[in-house]
Amino acid sequence: MDRQAATIKLREHGITPTQQRVEIAQYLFSQPRHVSAEQVMELVNGGRPRVSKATIYNTLNLFSRKGLVRQIIVDPTKMFYDSNVGKHHHFYNIDTGELTDVPPGSIQVDDLPELPAGTVAAGIDVIIRVRAEQT
């Protein structure tokens, strides 16, 4: 995604396109990705500290609030940001730390319990944790 397309995408979602936000958007939206904040920082900074950790986290959280990315919490210490905000589920490899999409249509969730009064379901996230077979 080029700079202009990233700027337009941010503006369409009510986000002021600062230089750092545009750089992060270019990286995130150039292809579907599952990335941690640390991975974003490493790739955006390219080995030299230009964008602070706080800016990375604040930007990712802003993108999440505005619907540009989806936060996927795989355990209490690990969160991914998914640039595919459509309905889908994930495999999480606990050996490698990799998060990947489950093929569309592979999982059907039926018979949800009755929701608390005054609420509606906002989404269902299924994370299937996998690891290498033990021989």
Residue 68 has pLDDT above 80, yes or no: yes
In the predicted model, what is the mean pLDDT of the chain? 93
Selected residue with higher pLDDT from 15 and 108: 15
Residue at 80: amino acid letter: F
Q: With helix as H, strand as E and coil as C, how does the chain read?
A: CCHHHHHHHHHHCCCCCCHHHHHHHHHHHCCCCEECHHHHHHHHHCCCCCCCHHHHHHHHHHHHHCCCCEEEEEECCEEEEECCCCCCCEEEECCCCEEEECCCCCCCCCCCCCCCCCCCCCCCCCEEEECCCCC
Q: What is the pTM of this model?
A: 0.85
Instruction: Give the rounded percent of residues in the chain with a pLDDT score beyond 70.
Output: 100
- What pLDDT digit, counting tens, does each position of 102-132 carry? 998 899 888 889 999 999 998 889 999 999 9
Q: What pLDDT is attached to residue 48?
A: 80
CATH architecture of structural domain 3-130? Orthogonal Bundle (1.10)
- What pLDDT digit, counting tens, does each position of 42-63 carry? 988 887 878 899 999 999 999 9
